[in-house]
Amino acid sequence: METKNIMIVGVGGQGTLIASRILGGIATTAGYDVKLSEVHGMAQRGGSVVTFVRYGDYVAEPIVEPGQADVLIAFERLEAKRYAHYLKKDGVLIVNDTRIDPMPVIIGAAEYPEGIIEEIEKEHTVYKADATAIAIELGNARCFNVVILGMAARHMDYAVEDWHKVIEKTVKPATIEINKKAFDAGYALAE
């Protein structure tokens, strides 16, 4: 199989590392070669963070490069815009339709761009949802990342049961059920 390139982008502290653990877990279930690359350290303090996941018959480099992403999973709109050029021509954007102001916007040194999703929609297929609102409705705002993963799962090569198993192994025991519900909610959205 040709290598599939997935990216997760977001704001440090939003739970990108847990999402990448789940993606890594699912990628190992099908016997493909897998590589993942994450950002640790300074950027995790509220900076822009990115995780790359690649799987296929043989994966050499651990990163996804501009113009190569099959699926871009963005936990926030501005981060979707920052990394949209990583998408392939037929690449798909899954975006949490929410806004987190970066410090230059908070202090009035820059403006948060308008119409981000509309602009990306001109070039790429976009699936958007206010995953944070869905997660709050399910009972835990922090599960929004798994809602988004559920949406992305539609564009990956793994069965729902396998995702559930990986979620069971990855998240804290107390949050397994709510995370599975969050996944299902996201999966249903991207239909």
Q: Which is nearer to another protein, 68 or 154 (CB)?
A: 68
Minimum distance from CB of 58 to another protein (Å)?
A: 9
Q: Which is nearer to another protein, 61 or 130 (CB)?
A: 61
Q: Which tokens hold the place of 44?
A: 């995790």
- Interior/surface letters 110-141, b for 16+ CB within 10 angstroms, e for the rest: eeeeeebeeebeeebebbbbebbebbeebeee
Torsion 173-35-159-88 (CA) sign: positive
Coil, strand or helix at 147? helix
Q: Which is nearer to another protein, 86 or 187 (CB)?
A: 86
Minimum distance from CB of 53 to another protein (Å)?
A: 9
Q: Are 168 and 176 in contact (CB under 8 A)?
A: yes
- Interior/surface letters 59-93, b for 16+ CB within 10 angstroms, e for the rest: beeeebeeebbbbbbbbbbbbbbebbebbbeebbb
Minimum distance from CB of 153 to another protein (Å)?
A: 19
Minimum distance from CB of 119 to another protein (Å)?
A: 9
For binding to another protein (CB under 8 A), which residues are involved? 11-13, 24-25, 27-28, 31, 33-48, 59-63, 65-68, 78-79, 81-82, 84-85, 101-107, 109-113, 141
Q: Which is nearer to another protein, 110 or 159 (CB)?
A: 110
Q: Which is nearer to another protein, 40 or 191 (CB)?
A: 40
Minimum distance from CB of 104 to another protein (Å)?
A: 5
